[in-house]
A and B are shown apart, each in its own frame.
Chain A
Amino acid sequence: EIVMTQSPATLSVSPGERATLSCRASQSVGSNLAWYQHKPGQAPRLLIYAASTRATGIPARFSGSGSGTEFTLTISSLQSEDFAVYYCQQSNNWPPLTFGGGTRVEIK
Chain B
Amino acid sequence: EVQLVESGGGLVPPGGSLRLSCSASGFTFRTYAMNWVRQAPGKGLEWLSYISTGSNTMYYADSVKGRFTISRDDADKSLYLQMYSLRPDDTAVYFCARGAGTLDSWGQGTPVTVSS
> Footprint of B on A, CB under 8 Å?
32, 34, 36, 38, 41-46, 49-50, 55, 85, 87, 89, 91, 94-102
Please state if B104 and A46 are interface contacts (CB–CB under 8 Å).
yes
List the count of A-B residue pairs having beta carbons below 8 Å apart. Answer: 64
Give the interface size class of chain B: 20 to 34
B106 at interface, CB cutoff 8 A: yes
Interface of B is mostly: strand
Q: Would you list which residues of chain B between 72 and 116 have a CB under 8 Å from chain A? A: 95, 97, 101-109
Contacts of B46 in A (CB 8 A): 99
Please state if A99 and B108 are interface contacts (CB–CB under 8 Å).
no
CB of A10 to closest CB in B, whole Å: 13
CB of A41 to closest CB in B, whole Å: 7
With the chains together, A46 CA to B95 CA distance in Å?
14
Which residue of chain A lies nearest to B93 when distances are taken between CB atoms in the complex? Answer: A41
Which residue of chain B lies nearest to A56 when distances are taken between CB atoms in the complex? Answer: B104
Please state if A34 and B47 are interface contacts (CB–CB under 8 Å).
no
Please state if A99 and B101 are interface contacts (CB–CB under 8 Å).
no
Which residue of chain B lies nearest to A45 when distances are taken between CB atoms in the complex? Answer: B106
With the chains together, A14 CA to B57 CA distance in Å?
46
